[in-house]
Structure 1
Amino acid sequence: MAVPSRGRTSEILSSLPLHILLYVNMVYYIFYFLATLAMIIYKSQVFSYPDEFLAPDLAVLFLMAILEVPRLYLGFKGNLTEAEAPLGLSLGLTVGSVLLCVYLLLWQSYVLWADVLLNAVLLAAYGLESGLKVTAIAAFVS
């Protein structure tokens, strides 16, 4: 049974697909971080991993994890409060996450097929999420 509005029309502009994708991305990123960390440890034990390249690869992974927390928080907050600014900031942080993901995909010392698969899924999720963020921001502005 619908509750009649009292002379006020309020339309919900929050994006349910964006909210679901942010949640799925949060869960996937935990798996991604643990799997990538395990693979870096594996590669450093099995292959002749140069010590001077181990630290930058780990630093990029941990920087990406640090960047992921505010990116997801601002995405959730911006979508639920229907505010453009947090969603726009989240979109900007997504660009940084994409660059770090591309580094782990192309420029780390050893790239295994599992690295390619994990990073391809994450990049696809970032792309879809970015499109939904732009659509949500457009809906909030209009």
Structure 2
Amino acid sequence: MAAAKRGQVFSYPDNFLALDLALLFIMAILEAVRLYLGTKGNLTEEEASLGVSLVITVGSAILSVYFLVWETYVLKADVIINAILLVTYGLEAILQIIAIAAFVN
């Protein structure tokens, strides 16, 4: 009979738990606002909405870098998900800039 493997239990520092959760909720709210403004700006061809969405995209990318590099415990899944998210943010930013340029002309 093989012995059962035991996983490691990491305690999460209380002073960092509140910060990580607060930043996660801020990122979720920013993401909802960013997607709403981006969709609205694209459908109505408004440069202002797309511009605000672009600024929020930069803020969301900074938060994504936080969760990629400075989070208390960074798992392999965090690295993969945040790397994909940063690539997606980059592509969205490029497309938003192209759309804003097209709407201005």
Same fold per superposition (TM over 0.5): yes
The structure 2 residue matched to 1:78, chosen from 36, 41, 45, is: 41
Task: Provide the rounded CA distance (Å) in 2 between the counterparts of 1:48 and 1:83.
Answer: 48
SS of residue matched to 1:78: helix
State yes or no: 1:50 paired with 2:13: yes
- Unaligned runs of at least 5 residues, structure 1: 1-44
How many residues are paired up?
Answer: 98
The structure 1 residue matched to 2:86, chosen from 120, 123, 128, is: 123
1:110 is displaced (CA, Å) by: 0.9
Residue of structure 1 in register with 2:50 after alignment: 87
Moved more, 69-78 or 46-55: 46-55
Task: Provide the rounded CA distance (Å) in 2 between the counterparts of 1:63 and 1:102.
Answer: 14
1:70 is displaced (CA, Å) by: 1.1
Task: Provide the rounded CA distance (Å) in 1 between the counterparts of 2:54 and 2:83.
Answer: 19
TM-score between the two structures when normalised by the length of structure 2: 0.89
- Unaligned runs of at least 5 residues, structure 2: 1-7
**C-alpha offsets along residues 40-78 of structure 1, whole Å, 9 cap, x if unaligned?**
xxxxx9312211111111111100001111110110000
Task: Provide the rounded CA distance (Å) in 2 between the counterparts of 1:48 and 1:78.
Answer: 44
1:129 is displaced (CA, Å) by: 0.3
After superposition, the CA RMSD in angstroms is: 1.2
User: Once the two structures are aligned, what percentage of the paired residues are identical?
Assistant: 68
State yes or no: 1:64 paired with 2:27: yes
Task: Provide the rounded CA distance (Å) in 1 between the counterparts of 2:9 and 2:22.
Answer: 20
Segments ≥4 residues shifted beyond 6 Å: none
Code of the residue aligned with 2:62 in structure 1: it is L
Answer 1 or 2: higher relative contact order, Cα 8 Å, separation at least 6: 1
Residue of structure 2 in register with 1:101 after alignment: 64
Task: Provide the rounded CA distance (Å) in 1 between the counterparts of 2:36 and 2:73.
Answer: 32
